[in-house]
Amino acid sequence: MPTPPQAIGFTLDPLDRVSEKRDDETFVAGLRDDPATRFLLFVNNVPLFKRANGHDPLFGASEAAALGAPLQTVFLGRDADRRALFAHSFDGQMQSLPEVEAVELRPIAMQDLVSAPLVSALGEARSMLDWHGRHRFCANCGQPTDSAGAGWRRICPNCKAQHFPRVDPVVIMLVTDGERCLLGRQPQFLPGMYSALAGFVEPGETFEHAVYREVLEEAGLRCTDVRYHASQPWPFPSSLMIGCFARAATTDITVDRNELEDARWFTREEVGAMLDGTHEQGLSAPKPFAIAHHLLKAFATRAWD
């Protein structure tokens, strides 16, 4: 399996998902009852951590059981030591434990508060538990559905439809004209921060077409020569960021003010200063856990031009 570029958040999945055994109930139950097995615990999609031990999200079976019966369980996989990892979700009614705290996954990932492989496992778990929470009823007939396949699908007992967890592809693209790149600002960004443009892939589109369309819609630019760079699972709730470069075919920018507060061209030197935190006007770029940072870094260092 190719190694993803180091330090992009959520890309260092440490688990063998053993997907071919998910329907083997004896196998899955054996792992769940194994004393070595660990559990990631979520309350309303927020992971729990042991206070005593930095930010440790790994709980034993008895610690997990102290919270009561989970709403949902997913078998995530086995680590390099063949130790199984499961995820449990609870609602706000579960037992609260004084030695445990809930912290949103995004700041945990941004601040490197747990190891990169564990951040990836937490992301996998968050996406899966969020999906279960939103898909309790059959999209086909409206009846309640049941979890199956160790938590990797839901089945409707009424119409027999099977429902599978979804991933939403998002293109994120750095458009360059050779020496400059196009960056935009969304109103909710931190003051002074600019990033690569991005948007959801629509049905019937290739990644390339989604890049052409989004750049034209958001910045009024035509582009060409779309190249794939790297991807990133983004578990808020279930996106897959597809990082691309593209070549500008036109350079006059018309900003879509419904989507962006601003968009403009930046030189390599400016981008380097934004990544280093030394930009003269105090402008900044996303941190290394975001794939946009890696697109910008590849451009600034001429790893891609």
Q: Which stretch binds Zn ion (CB under 5 A): 108-116, 133-141, 187-195, 275-283?
A: 133-141
Q: Would you count residue 140 as binding Zn ion (CB under 5 A)?
A: yes
Site for Zn ion in 154-183 (CB under 5 A): 156, 158-159, 161
The sign of the dihedral angle between the CA atoms of 174, 180, 184, 190 is positive
CB of 166 to Zn ion, least distance (A): 17
CB nearer to Zn ion: pick between 143 and 251: 143
CB nearer to Zn ion: pick between 149 and 272: 149
Residue of 138, 242, 246, 300 that binds Zn ion (CB under 5 A):
138
Nearest alpha carbon to residue 305 among 262, 260, 271, 263:
271
Residue 45 is encoded by which pair of tokens?
A: 């999609």
Q: Which stretch binds Zn ion (CB under 5 A): 36-44, 140-148, 249-257, 276-284?
A: 140-148
Q: Is 286 helix (H, G, I), strand (E, B) or coil?
A: coil
CB nearer to Zn ion: pick between 140 and 147: 140
- Residue 82 vs residues 14, 17, 37, 190, 219: alpha-carbon distances, Å: 11, 11, 9, 42, 49
CB nearer to Zn ion: pick between 149 and 235: 149
Number of residues near Zn ion (by CB under 5 A): 7
Residue of 29, 36, 66, 141 that binds Zn ion (CB under 5 A):
141
Nearest alpha carbon to residue 241 among 289, 273, 180:
289
CB of 237 to Zn ion, least distance (A): 23
User: Is the previous residue joined to 233 through a cis bond, with omega within 30 degrees of 0?
Assistant: no
Cα separation, 28 vs 214, in Å, equals 43
- Contacting residues toward Zn ion, per CB under 5 A: 138, 140-141, 156, 158-159, 161
